């Protein structure tokens, strides 16, 4: 098993983000993906759309 970490700001999550995850899955078959994201506010200080 391979663990892949993504530090991301999916605000909002869109097709480009889905593409990124699908590319990881296609290149690393046994990948477990962990996304680390900010909480209620984005890195730019704006409120996040969703928790």
Strand (E) or helix (H) holding 5: strand 2-7
pLDDT of 50 > 80? The answer is no
Q: What is the DSSP string of 25-48?
A: HHHSTTEEEEEE--SSB-TTSPBP
Instruction: Report the number of distinct structural domains present in the chain.
Output: 1
Q: The domain containing residue 31 runs over which residues? A: 1-51
Q: What is the pLDDT of residues 1-37, one digit of tens each?
A: 999 999 998 888 899 999 999 999 999 999 999 999 8
Q: 31 — phi, psi (to 5°)?
A: -65, 135
Q: What is the pLDDT of residue 40?
A: 86
pLDDT band at 45 (very low <50, low <70, confident <90, very high): confident
């Amino acid at each position: 098993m391979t663990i892949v970490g993504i530090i991301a700001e999916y605000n909002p999550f869109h097709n480009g983000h889905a593409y990124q995850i699908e590319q990881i899955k296609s290149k690393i078959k046994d990948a477990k993906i962990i996304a680390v994201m900010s909480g209620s506010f984005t890195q730019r200080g704006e409120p996040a759309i969703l928790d």
